[in-house]
Structure 1
């Protein structure tokens, strides 16, 4: 078991996904709290099992519509993954599977928090660029942020991957028909909040497709 009297160092890694997680999610003020969890384990090899438990607890909360708790469990799992030792190929596969599952799950709970949703989906798409669920959710975030270029780009890419997805092609056609006039009045008449939200809008068809 690690020596709990020693401070937990900020991790470093050669794994690009883990490096991105560390940069995005790990904050220095959280190290002491994370150390309490890590020092209760037998070693870094136990971290993936702890992350699996956090994911399962998050799933339970999600099923009971306790989305705030579910999000907290998912994000705790992501943070803990920053301290996973990746040595073997098997370690790499396990880490990647846990990371992308948690990131995508967390992004689903950011509906309405468009900047956070876009960050999570963009991170996910760095490693699974053809994942249509992540593209759909980032398109939803782009609409909420009035980033029409990103919105159209993600919908076009999604239709190329799944050309028979009726809801997505329908939404793309609707957006393209409106062009630059989409929500212009709302954008000019409202001020964004801290998440960059102007109105509580989303892609109704796209959202339904990814639940």
Structure 2
């Protein structure tokens, strides 16, 4: 029997690729444009691409902001992807300061345009990079990344900004870019989110999709 996910459509995501990844892993995908439909979801997926302000404005103007907060409060599984992860935080510094949903404490900051040794580096950060444990040494057992400990899995990024969680225990994985530790994934209970795109990350990305479906 397939497992159903509810995919939020607020006009700022590549829904087709995300839906295909979940369908490939055996999920039944329900795309919703009405925030009232979120309440009946068993599992919720919030993707996002583009600028933070554009995404959060669409989320709020269409009534999804409160619907997502209410859903998180139920303890049911939710998965944010790329800017869909960023909007879960308090505020973004992209093109000024813009309030997020305030579900996770922290700020979304620019990816450094210089390496730790001061050399220029390309921003946006585009392409494959390896996931590593954060400075807290958080174990991945029982999380979205279960089974990937010690493997330095490669995943696909496209972003110029990244979340900086205020609570280090929310931080699930980092990637290193020019020597800087960039937050690549967060998890607090059944709230999970990745800065990278699992739908573009090959078998590693699909393994995360399957784990989410098993929560």
Question: Which TM bucket (shorter chain)?
Answer: under 0.3
Return the TM-score normalized by structure 1: 0.27
The structure with higher relative contact order (CA 8 Å, sep 6+) is 2
Larger gyration radius, structure 1 or structure 2: 1
Return the TM-score normalized by structure 2: 0.27
Name the structure where strand makes up a greater proportion of residues.
2
Name the structure where helix makes up a greater proportion of residues.
1
